[in-house]
Structure 1
Amino acid sequence: MKSLFKVGGAIALLAPGIAVAQVRDGGGSEIIVTAQKRETRLADIPAAINVVTGAQIADNGVSNFEDLTSQVAGMSITSNFGGVASTTVSIRGVGGQDDYRPNGSPSVAFHVDNIYQSSNVFLSVPFFDIERVEVLKGPQGTLYGRNSTAGVVNLITRGPDGKFDGYVQADYASYDRFRAEGAVSAPLSDRIGLRLAVLTDQGGGFMDGKGAGPAAGTQMRPQVPALPNPGVRDNYGDRNLWAGRATLRAETDGGDLTLKLWGSRDRSESQPQDSVAGVSNGGWLEPDNDPFTFYSNRYPRRKTDLFGVSGTLTQKLGDALRLDLVAGHEESDRTLDGAPGAPLRINQFIFTDKVKQTSLEARLSNAKDGRFNWVVGAYYLKDKTDFGTTLFYEDSRFTQIETDYHQKRDSFAIFGQIDWRLFDRLTLTGGLRYTTESSNYFGSTIDANPYGISLGVGLPLPVFFDNDFDDDNLSGRASAKFDLTRSLSIYGAYGRGYKAGGFDGTSIFSAPEALSFKSETVDSFEGGIKWFPASNLFNLSIDGFHYSFKNLQSSTSTPNGNVRTNIAAAKLKGVDVTGTLNLVRTETQQLTFDVGATFLDSEITRFESSNPVLVTLNLGNNLPAAPKASGHARLAHSFSMTPDWRLRSSVDVTYKGSEYKRLDNSLSAKAAAYTLLNLRLELQNAASGISVYAYARNVTDKRYYVDIAGPSRLMGAPRTFGAGARFAW
């Protein structure tokens, strides 16, 4: 561990990091965020929090949650199938073992405009017209509750600002990628404003499809159709995405009502996996080992339709109280075709799923800051998931397997938190949340046997199941913050978070595989310093943490098959460092260096299995998606050449240490460390509102893996160049 932190210190000084960005600068160090569900100075939050502004999101081409992980130290991504269409995200090494199926819930609690996303299907929400993203690291057992053991990510979109303004922006990049977005705000009256925003994202595929290659025409049995050959396709993996959002904001007497309506339509080509070392699934040998080519009997695509409507009411009740109501309804309809890096029809699949969720949160708090600041509230979530899979085994078992699964879930919570300024320099915070949850999971798995010669899957089919899960939990957090000076504070905190139990969403081949697993809990100890001088010359946050997990949820082999269950206890410790240094601040020039890094040390301390081989393979391993070091750094320069003309440039560096993508820490599931370098140059004219820009991403053309396991890998994007223009009024 000592050597880890020596290396970490050097990295923090040289490159990796993430800016603690200014969201609203009230002068000096008054950086305001809403991660505590009320406006709070960033310097006053006794926790690690990163903020990525809308400008940084636009500059760095962040178009989804997957891209966001490159901007925040300590975040990692695993994409089992189809890139962003089946994604799990981890923070500080927590969440890398999450279920990618739609009935599971991520360990990272994702919110869009304060609406919790109950299924990882909503991780494909596109980023456009963004105000900021707040990333709150560590278990959040009070204000966010269930499924926030890794932390919270809140995507906050822009709304009307009381005047007529807007922008249009378009750019063109390598591999024929074209992306355009725009928005317009208009006041409808003195108290009502409307903002409309739209997006299209097209092209950008960088994989070359070789069709079925030498395997074309293979026929394992006369009854089974010969292996088709879809032909050669260059630059496969193109996006075909459209999205829109309408925001209506109305001022009330003593309050504010915001309504949002949004939707997206995605008909993109799913980025396929490629085989490793020329050996793909099923043992088929590739003629080449080029990581940007793949072989398949079909070209996989996805169809994802997302829709959401939400309302947020903030209302003063007299002079002393404030009421907040947040309600939302969201739906998804998705079909995902998967090609696991081989032309043979072995383990190929088509996923179909529909998710509907409705949520309501009500909070009551004190209206004016004082010695006691408090909030009490209640939360309700209801969701339904209908999902199925077609598994293709024509070239091995001479059959197809069909699954049809359904899950209904209800969750209710009450919570409260109080901040007590015991004296001028000491603030104590305590909060509790009680959650009760119930769900029902039912469905079937059948052998479709379309050719009448099925060899089955080694277990008797069909399988039918109908199971219930009920659970409750008490979680919370307590902290103390002491102000050494007006700008320098220290804090310590203890928290308990939990991840709700539930059901395995992968294919069920025996009734015991459909039984429920228990909730996962984590005890968190944190401590750190925050230094935010009034001069705003720099700021610095350092956070140390130690987690202890019980009933860790993961997929593993059991006597009941390969299922998701409670398999382990684990410990995790580390340090987060974030900071900003304003190197130059004059009327004509600004030079800012943002830096941050996360250092982790994780270990599985107990592994429960009746198979001693599995215990040996997993005990003492690192947690998945938990690199020992990761970070991000940005050097941004702005120069006013004349009163109207300004030149902006930035150098952006992301570092990700090596990490295991699976629990068993096998070498075939280890992604090597990599560093990505991005450059950007922009010329702005303030008088006209026009700016033009050019950029290069992954300048060194580094080859890296988004995911790798066994014979398959999912490649990261190669070097790309792009240019664009923006007109704002």
Structure 2
Amino acid sequence: MISRYTCVLLAGTAGLFSATAFAQAETAGEAPSVWAGEEIIVTAQKRSESLQDVPLAISALSGDSLSDRAITDVASLAMAVPSLTFGSYGGQARIAIRGIGFDTINPGGEGRVAYHLNGVYLSRPAATTGTFFDVNRVEVLRGPQGTLYGRNATGGSINVIPRGPTDAFEGYLNLGYGNYNAITTEGAIGGPITDGVGFRVAFSTEDHDGYGRNITTGNEIDNAKRRAVRGMLSFALGETAKLDLSADYSTEDDRNYGNHYLGRASTVISPVGLLVGGVVPNDPRDIANDFDPQNDRTFWGLSARLEVGLGDLTLTSITGYRNNEYSLLTDLDATSAAISRFTFAEKGDHFSQELQLAGEIGRFEFLVGGFYFEESLSGNVAIPFDRMAIGMPALMVQGYEVNGDVKTKALAGFGQGSYALTDTLKATLGLRYSWERHDISDQFQLDLFRPYVPGAELIPAATRDARRSENSVTPKFGLEFSPRKDMLFYASMSKGFKSGGYNLGDIIDPNTGLANDGFKPETLWSYDAGFRGSFADGRVELNANAFYYDYKNLQVSKVVNTTVIIENAAASTIYGIEAQAIVRPLRGLQLEVTPTWLHGRYKDFQSANPADPFNPTPVVLDGNPIIQAPEVALNLAAQYKANVGAGSLRLRGEMGFQDRVYFTPFKERNVSREPNTLLNVFASYTLDNWEISVFGRNLTDKTVIANALVNSGLIGLPITGTLYPPRTYGVRIGYKFGS
């Protein structure tokens, strides 16, 4: 019997074969501009070049393409980018590329996919919200980007480039309304102030009712109240220099990101809340808590980009400052019983400075530079709980609390050069030296006697003041062969590096009872080969690549009792194939097929399963799937544009399939996301400067788990997590003015 996964692969392969067959029938008689898709200029290699000329596994979407697909956040990119998965826990973005991403839940955790806003690195996974509006383009690089991007780019890099000031006065305003009383606005205005000085101001708001309800209090949860604004100034400094300044601010204050009850992790241990008479809702979109979640976050930043032409050279300086503050209050036991509260908070800022010198000398293109990063972060985790959870007389006590400060400094020097050996063959060599230092000063308490009083002083049971530093050299070797225009073969070998560090509160290793000296750095060697091609006067575009990863000391997190710990798995092997075909068989019609196959397994890895507390013996995990890595995925889309009356009509439909995703290394099906298929549709009509559009996402109203974990044994090992949005639909009216 043919499995559903085989059918998915066959469907994707059939689409690619059809595209190849179509490509071989080179059709003459039409100018390429009639059939070719939109050319996207990217800066993935920190120089401007056409997307189809980049010898990397990269996907890029222009602002217009994002609008066509109603992509307004990073989560929606998963339907448009191969090997990209997205989840969220506690309001922190869990972005993974090829199974490599962010999986911890403690303050101070850092992801493996580097997120950049207009060239500035954002270290906080929670800070990606509030950045995705008035976007010029987004670039997603798959695979380690150690040479040019360096810090925490083991899995890849996402670069969001906002629209900047324009030479002519222009702007737009979009107003949207949808189910759940969703009201959205987005707009921008900009243009010249005087000769050589331009500005742009953009904003975005989102409000919607809750996707679920707290059946205990009767209030809605998973609602949204978000605000964001960005201002930019551009100065032409003479004939050869330009200065761009930017400031952005975003805030969110709602009942989002609360824990949903998703089941029990153990067959022999019951969640404490249920044992004492608490209830859980029948609908997983609801919660049953004795209080409502409270989400409060504010992020803002400043950046300056200076480019100076020095003859055949260009000097670029990118300076960034980010300030991040957020807190989340939710129910740890996820039942209606008043057993526990869980507060998660993070506050900090970071400064970054990058210098680049780029040039071209004959057949040689090069870029050299330096990078400096400094971050100060304060974090707090508080879990007051009722002592009856551990068999003591009932009393809500101060319980478990962790707070502390983490400081990080990073320095790097890097360079990359490409030499054209012939008119069709080019070689690339890159190298980066990275040094990082982490300082931690933290303390924790486990107080079973003081009655709970919000804001009470922490009485430490243990403290830690420690420092660790690491360095790494990450090279890259690449070859690219272009036998003709619009055809490129490439191969590369590169190394990724993510530094070690500390996890707030894991002062004592619960596995050993000894002092915890933090976790080690992880490294990854990547071997990647791919192809990019355009055929039949632009009617067909084919992109494909295969990769192999040798992953060492990967950092894996789990909850042990009340503590989140990070341990180093010995190794993992990951390999796979990604492909994308775009076919334009008729004028205005575009078909897209993107199949992905990913094989990721742990090896030489043993760890005790916290969901089986009666068996402290480490379990052999060799051969288990790595987390956040669906083995098979397939995205299909069809889009049609045509002139209708005095305007133009656009119709688009999408299907996205992902097979099972595990959220722990123990291959627990009850802590995984089941295989799922999502369907989206979009339609718009444009007339002069006006556009009206409608959309529908998750049309079949699937309940899909965004992320899940086995929670603390203190409250009986419930499985808690968050969910993707349900079926949403709405209408948007937009108006553009100016050029």
Q: TM-score, normalised by structure 2?
A: 0.87
Which of the residues 23, 34, 39 maps onto 2:48? 39
> Which residue matches 1:618?
621
- What is the DSSP-based 3-state SS (H/G/I as helix, E as strand, rest coil) of the residue aligned with 2:106? coil
> Which residue matches 2:651?
649
> Which residue matches 2:23?
none
**Structure 1 residue 448: deviation in Å?**
4.8
**Structure 1 residue 482: deviation in Å?**
1.4
* Contact 1:277–1:289 under 8 Å retained in 2: no
**Structure 1 residue 699: deviation in Å?**
1.1
My pick for the range that moved more, 43-52 or 175-184, is 43-52
My pick for the range that moved more, 260-269 or 56-65, is 56-65
CA deviations 1:509-542 (Å, max 9, x no partner) are 5685642211100011111111124822221111
Which of the residues 98, 101, 107 maps onto 1:95? 101
Please tell me whether residue 67 in structure 1 is matched to residue 42 in structure 2.
no
**Structure 1 residue 105: deviation in Å?**
1.5
Aligned counterparts, 1:210-221, within 5 A: 210-211=215-216
Distance of aligned partners of 1:608 and 1:701 in 2 relative to their CA distance in 1, 3 Å threshold: closer
**Structure 1 residue 117: deviation in Å?**
1.1
CA deviations 1:582-605 (Å, max 9, x no partner) are 2322xxxx1112332321011101
- What is the DSSP-based 3-state SS (H/G/I as helix, E as strand, rest coil) of the residue aligned with 2:289? coil
CA distance in 1, matches of 2:550, 2:436: 23
**Structure 1 residue 74: deviation in Å?**
1.1
Please tell me whether residue 519 in structure 1 is matched to residue 505 in structure 2.
no
* Contact 2:256–2:293 under 8 Å retained in 1: yes
CA distance in 1, matches of 2:383, 2:82: 37
Where do 5+ consecutive residues of structure 2 fail to align?
A: 20-32, 391-395, 454-458, 610-614, 711-718
**Structure 1 residue 246: deviation in Å?**
0.4
> Which residue matches 1:358?
351
* Contact 2:75–2:87 under 8 Å retained in 1: no
Please tell me whether residue 263 in structure 1 is matched to residue 261 in structure 2.
no
* Contact 2:370–2:414 under 8 Å retained in 1: yes
**Structure 1 residue 338: deviation in Å?**
2.0
* Contact 1:441–1:466 under 8 Å retained in 2: yes
CA distance in 1, matches of 2:198, 2:34: 24
My pick for the range that moved more, 60-69 or 403-412, is 60-69
> Which residue matches 2:533?
531
* Contact 2:606–2:619 under 8 Å retained in 1: no
> Which residue matches 2:294?
301
Aligned counterparts, 1:369-380, within 5 A: 370-380=362-372
**Structure 1 residue 14: deviation in Å?**
7.2
RMSD, aligned CA = 2.8
Distance of aligned partners of 1:527 and 1:363 in 2 relative to their CA distance in 1, 3 Å threshold: same
CA deviations 1:407-427 (Å, max 9, x no partner) are 011100000100010011110
> Which residue matches 2:380?
388
> Which residue matches 2:584?
582
Q: TM-score, normalised by structure 1?
A: 0.88
- Code of the residue aligned with 2:642 in structure 1: it is F
> Which residue matches 1:225?
none
My pick for the range that moved more, 674-683 or 548-557, is 548-557
Distance of aligned partners of 1:613 and 1:527 in 2 relative to their CA distance in 1, 3 Å threshold: farther
Aligned counterparts, 1:48-127, within 5 A: 48-81=57-90, 85-95=91-101, 98-127=103-132
CA distance in 1, matches of 2:264, 2:445: 33
> Which residue matches 2:736?
728
CA distance in 1, matches of 2:705, 2:723: 5
Identical pairs, percent? 26
CA deviations 1:67-117 (Å, max 9, x no partner) are 333332211123233xxx123211011115x32334121100111111111
Which of the residues 229, 233, 241 maps onto 1:248? 233
CA distance in 2, matches of 1:324, 1:64: 29
* Contact 1:275–1:289 under 8 Å retained in 2: no
Distance of aligned partners of 1:65 and 1:559 in 2 relative to their CA distance in 1, 3 Å threshold: closer
Instruction: State the aligned residue count.
Output: 683
**Structure 1 residue 622: deviation in Å?**
0.5
CA distance in 2, matches of 1:39, 1:369: 17
**Structure 1 residue 507: deviation in Å?**
5.7
> Which residue matches 1:603?
601
Which of the residues 106, 110, 134 maps onto 2:139? 134
- What is the DSSP-based 3-state SS (H/G/I as helix, E as strand, rest coil) of the residue aligned with 2:553? strand
> Which residue matches 2:637?
634
- What is the DSSP-based 3-state SS (H/G/I as helix, E as strand, rest coil) of the residue aligned with 1:250? strand
> Which residue matches 2:262?
276
CA distance in 2, matches of 1:615, 1:77: 29
Distance of aligned partners of 1:648 and 1:422 in 2 relative to their CA distance in 1, 3 Å threshold: same
* Contact 2:403–2:505 under 8 Å retained in 1: no
Please tell me whether residue 716 in structure 1 is matched to residue 716 in structure 2.
no
Where do 5+ consecutive residues of structure 1 fail to align?
A: 20-24, 212-230, 455-459
**Structure 1 residue 428: deviation in Å?**
0.3
My pick for the range that moved more, 44-53 or 462-471, is 44-53
- Code of the residue aligned with 1:399 in structure 2: it is V
- Code of the residue aligned with 2:643 in structure 1: it is S
CA deviations 1:27-57 (Å, max 9, x no partner) are 9685421111101222222221011222233
